[in-house]
């Protein structure tokens, strides 16, 4: 049982039990757990993070150019104080549920702010560090405006291929609060926001890639909080 304390002092209520997360097994030993509406009242946390986190713009080398990273970032290493006590409680709840299976605790927290539909993250695996060679987990809390989080197998077949080489999962439709997963051409799609949790596990960082694509529609801001073990990034 999750022992709510700080959360009970607000009108947010605590996170829902992680035992109700639904696991989707993907090809190649990857899996994804999804718990829509994990954190009820998540919009209050969203507003606090939006104003209290020292969001940084970054620039990165891309081939021979230096380009703006199309989202704002903040990173909290294991010894850093998190920007909101609710994040400590969520990390503790994740560790209560997952540490035995993971074999170690989640320790670091990365935050991304997608200001609007022009912000995005390109296809990648979290492969800086052990995620490139070992099974691991990355747990992502989504706050604010829902955006699609897409997953596809690495070295995916051409989109027009009629003979996909990967076993594809099938998904139910939309769930209660609007989160939904769908699958098309080997790509798995989760619409995440407003307190939804997605945990990528098994070989997901090695054998699959994930992305939050740009959107041409008017899109409000989304914050994601990624909890990772030590040495995974």
Ligand X SMILES: O=C(O)CCC(=O)C(=O)O
Nearer to Fe ion, 87 or 232 (CB): 232
Residues between 119 and 158 that touch ligand X (CB under 6 A): 121, 126, 140, 149
Q: Which residue is nearest to ligand X (CB)?
A: 224
Contact string 81-120 vs Fe ion (x = CB under 5 A): ----------------------------------------
Q: b/e per residue, 135-150, with b = 16+ CB within 10 A?
A: bbbbbbbbbbbbbbbb
Kindly state the DSSP code that residue 213 receives in the 8-state scheme. Answer: -
Contact string 77-116 vs ligand X (x = CB under 6 A): ---------------------------------x-x----
63 burial type by CB count under 10 A (0-12 exposed, 13-18 middle, 19+ buried): exposed
30 burial type by CB count under 10 A (0-12 exposed, 13-18 middle, 19+ buried): buried
Contact (Cβ atoms closer than 8 angstroms) between residue 114 and residue 193:
no
Helices (H), the chain: 42-52, 85-102, 204-207
Instruction: Decide if residue 74 touches ligand X (CB under 6 A).
Output: no
Q: Residue 205: count other Cβ atoms within 10 Å of its Cβ.
A: 30
Taking CB within 5 to 8 Å according to partner kind, which of Fe ion, ligand X, none is near residue 199? none
Single residue of 12, 126, 135, 191 touching Fe ion by CB under 5 A: 126
Q: What's the closest the beta carbon of residue 126 comes to Fe ion, in angstroms? A: 4
Q: In the complex, which residues of this chain contact ligand X (CB under 6 A)?
A: 110, 112, 121, 126, 140, 149, 210, 212, 224, 226
């Amino acid at each position: 049982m999750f022992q709510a304390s700080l959360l009970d002092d607000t009108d947010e209520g605590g996170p829902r039990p992680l035992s109700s997360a639904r696991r989707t097994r993907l090809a190649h030993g990857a899996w994804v757990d999804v718990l829509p509406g994990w954190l009820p009242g998540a919009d209050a946390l969203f507003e606090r993070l939006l104003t209290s986190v020292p969001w940084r713009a970054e620039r990165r080398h891309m081939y021979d150019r230096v380009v703006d990273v199309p989202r704002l970032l903040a990173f909290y290493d294991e010894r850093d104080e998190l920007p909101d006590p609710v994040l400590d409680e969520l990390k503790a709840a994740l560790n209560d549920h997952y540490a035995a299976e993971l074999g170690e605790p989640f320790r670091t927290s990365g935050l991304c702010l997608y200001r609007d539909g022009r912000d995005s993250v390109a296809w990648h695996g979290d492969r800086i560090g052990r995620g490139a060679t070992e099974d691991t987990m990355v747990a992502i809390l989504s706050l604010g405006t829902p955006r699609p989080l897409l997953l596809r197998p690495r070295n995916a077949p051409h989109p027009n291929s009629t003979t996909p080489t990967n076993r594809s999962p099938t998904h139910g439709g939309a769930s209660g609060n609007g989160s939904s997963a769908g699958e098309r051409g080997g790509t798995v799609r989760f619409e995440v926001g407003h307190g939804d949790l997605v945990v990528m596990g098994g070989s997901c960082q090695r054998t699959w890639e994930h992305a939050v694509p740009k959107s041409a529609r008017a899109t409000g801001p989304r914050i994601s909080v990624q909890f990772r073990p030590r040495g995974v990034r």
